[in-house]
Chains A and B, each alone.
Chain A
Amino acid sequence: MLEVEVEHRVGDLRLEASVASDAGITALFGRSGAGKTTLINLLAGLRRPERGRIVVDGHTLFDSSGGIDLPPERRRLGYVFQESRLFPHLSVAGNLSYGLRRTPPAERHQDFDHIVELLDLGSLLKRWPRTLSGGERQRVSIGRALLASPRLLLMDEPLASLDIARKAEILPFIERLRDELRLPVVYVSHTLEEVIRLADTLVLMSEGRTIAAGPVEEIMSRLDLRPLTGRYEAGAVLFAKVAGIDVAFGLTELAFADRRLWVPRLELPMGTPLRVRVRARDVSISLSRPRDSSVVNILEGTIREVEAGNEPVADVLLDVGAPLIARITRRSAQALRLAPGQRVFAQIKAVAIDRPSVGQRGTTRHNS
């Protein structure tokens, strides 16, 4: 679907990126200044790489050795910018149809009315961009990009300039793009929660380089990547399905790798595939099965790796059918003599798994 291999220099930053992804949402994740925005500007054709190749959906957009460099208007990539960039001299309807009108009828695969309905824009059509709220602007901007019938949608931190409430308002719309339109998306973010909620594939960037790429749960469970995935926010991501509910106590039961995990109620149908982030600091370890603990989730597993440096904390990578990271004090790790291969019990408080930690998985997920 997307194959990128580019080299570029911007000021002091030397960009060397290599990205390959199938369908679904691919997140480019890294600190600000890591080169994420530069990379998608290279994809969009707004900057020209010094060397490399960019192929989307079988179409070569750039190839320095073949002398190919399509201008942005011929790349057919949608671009949703952080600051929405709506045209102030056009109404919402005018903005929406800007790209649509510039798309040859034979290549239009998005329908105006459908996109308006999908993004709930009906009541905004006659308004002017300056009268819209931040969230509304971003929805219009997404609609505008979609109506140009792109082969791939690039989103550059589309939620970064919004407050938490507005973010929560937009996220479901982005999930709908993935699930209903089956449009591949490259999503730039420096917020882990967004990435875990939305992305199938995670590409880690640091200082202009793509450090690691792969399925989100695989990248998130690697202890060596914690400096990049967020040392404080470290945690594993589990693939799970809604398996049951406890109506009386308002809990939902999730199933992953024949294990069970109880979490506070999620209003989702049975069988819904989910991605659940379990923060390392919400996981504790016991050598024997705790008998009278308030902790609801107790999972037996094997220690794979113990990482304790000179810091007060130690991170322990566990295998409980799926990778799980526990963050405990170095003193406890020593007192319990934790070592790879040991059988232990991981405890996860159900209430620690809040709504932002749970993301719906795309239906178009790749099979790797």
Chain B
Amino acid sequence: MGAGDSGSTWGLTPFEIEALSLSFKVAVWAVMCSLPLGVLTAWLLARGHFWGRSILNGIVHLPMIMPPVVVGYLLLVLLGRRGMVGAWLYETFGITIAFTWKGAAIASAVMAFPLMVRAIRLSLEAVDPRLEQAARTLGASPWRVMATVTLPLSLPGILTGAILAFARSLGEFGATITFVSNIPGETRTLPLAVYALLQTPGGEDGAVRLVVASIVLAMSALLASELLARRVSARMEA
């Protein structure tokens, strides 16, 4: 385990760089793939009137209140190579999810989903339905109203949701280690690398550097979301 201090970039070892860039990749994929679903779910929760809305709400929020290890285990049961969906995926498409970075992205996405949906839902609920009515009287169908009025107006919330989910993904630990284990270069993301370093004698220095890196990443994500949201909403303030 190369926890040495040779060949460094910004004082980081290749091992640490690897963990950082893997984390980045996992978080980006997690957010990109869950964003459309997050918007749809938030919209259903904010505007939908259907049977089972509170059940859907409960399911969406489950990962927030369940122990991450349990979520990881459930993912394994579902998507593992012998899992209900996983077996089918493997046999039909030859896709393996468990113990790969894709699995890490899914675990991150699931864990970050409640945060994302919450932010988007709040901003969708803040969109004045009277503006949507006005758009209808101007000839826009409900779908077009969604695309031209509702979504643009909730853009600050969607950005906030995406960036919060990104930051949450960077920090995902419990579900990831349970579902996809801690494989260097494949599933060893930043928090898992910190954990591994702390388990290794003499790894504290590396751990500290990664901790600093993760704090910097998380803070910049938050700042970026704040700035973007402010910029968008300043323009639209009525």
Is residue A128 within 8 Å, beta carbon to beta carbon, of the partner chain? yes
- Cα–Cα distance between A99 and B153 once the two chains are bound (Å): 18
> Are the CB atoms of A88 and B137 closer together than 8 Å?
no
Tell which of B128, B136, B144, B237 has the most Cβ of chain A within 10 Å: B136
Q: Which of A77, A87, A103, A130 contacts B137 (CB 8 A)?
A: A77
Is residue A178 within 8 Å, beta carbon to beta carbon, of the partner chain? no
Tell which of B134, B235, B236 has the most Cβ of chain A within 10 Å: B134
- Cα–Cα distance between A270 and B140 once the two chains are bound (Å): 46
Q: Which of B136, B139, B153, B238 contacts A103 (CB 8 A)?
A: B139
- Cα–Cα distance between A21 and B45 once the two chains are bound (Å): 43
> Are the CB atoms of A102 and B236 closer together than 8 Å?
no
Is residue A188 within 8 Å, beta carbon to beta carbon, of the partner chain? no
- Cα–Cα distance between A78 and B235 once the two chains are bound (Å): 27
Known: A88-B236, A88-B238, A130-B237. A99 touches B139 (CB 8 A): yes
Q: Bin the interface of chain A by size.
A: 20 to 34
Is residue A134 within 8 Å, beta carbon to beta carbon, of the partner chain? no
* Least CB separation from B237: chain A residue: A130
> Are the CB atoms of B141 and A73 closer together than 8 Å?
yes
- Number of residues from B at the complex interface, CB < 8 A: 22
* Least CB separation from A150: chain B residue: B137
Is residue B135 within 8 Å, beta carbon to beta carbon, of the partner chain? yes
Residues in A whose Cβ lies below 8 Å from that of B152: 89
> Are the CB atoms of B137 and A128 closer together than 8 Å?
no
Min CB distance A177 to B, Å, is: 17
Q: Which of A85, A128, A130 contacts B131 (CB 8 A)?
A: A85
Tell which of A72, A77, A102, A145 has the most Cβ of chain B within 10 Å: A72
Is residue A8 within 8 Å, beta carbon to beta carbon, of the partner chain? no
Is residue A71 within 8 Å, beta carbon to beta carbon, of the partner chain? yes
Is residue A148 within 8 Å, beta carbon to beta carbon, of the partner chain? yes
> Are the CB atoms of B136 and A88 closer together than 8 Å?
no
> Are the CB atoms of B137 and A46 closer together than 8 Å?
yes
Residues in A whose Cβ lies below 8 Å from that of B141: 71, 73
Is residue A98 within 8 Å, beta carbon to beta carbon, of the partner chain? yes
> Are the CB atoms of B136 and A148 closer together than 8 Å?
no
Is residue A173 within 8 Å, beta carbon to beta carbon, of the partner chain? no
Is residue B49 within 8 Å, beta carbon to beta carbon, of the partner chain? no
* Least CB separation from A107: chain B residue: B139
Min CB distance A41 to B, Å, is: 9
> Are the CB atoms of B153 and A89 closer together than 8 Å?
yes
> Are the CB atoms of B137 and A79 closer together than 8 Å?
yes
Contact flags B128-171 to A (C-beta < 8 A → 1, else 0): 10110111111111001000110011010000000000000000
- Cα–Cα distance between A72 and B135 once the two chains are bound (Å): 9
> Are the CB atoms of A89 and B235 closer together than 8 Å?
yes
Min CB distance B9 to A, Å, is: 42
Residues in B whose Cβ lies below 8 Å from that of A148: 137-139
Contact flags B96-131 to A (C-beta < 8 A → 1, else 0): 000000000000000000000000000000001011
> Are the CB atoms of B138 and A99 closer together than 8 Å?
yes
Residues of B within 8 A of A (CB): 128, 130-131, 133-141, 144, 148-149, 152-153, 155, 235-238
The 8 closest A-B pairs by CB, nearest first: A99-B138, A102-B139, A72-B136, A79-B137, A85-B134, A88-B236, A89-B152, A89-B236
Could you pull out 18 A-B pairs where Cβ atoms are within 8 angstroms? A44-B137, A71-B141, A73-B137, A73-B139, A73-B140, A74-B139, A75-B137, A77-B137, A81-B134, A87-B149, A88-B238, A98-B135, A98-B148, A102-B139, A128-B235, A130-B236, A130-B237, A148-B137
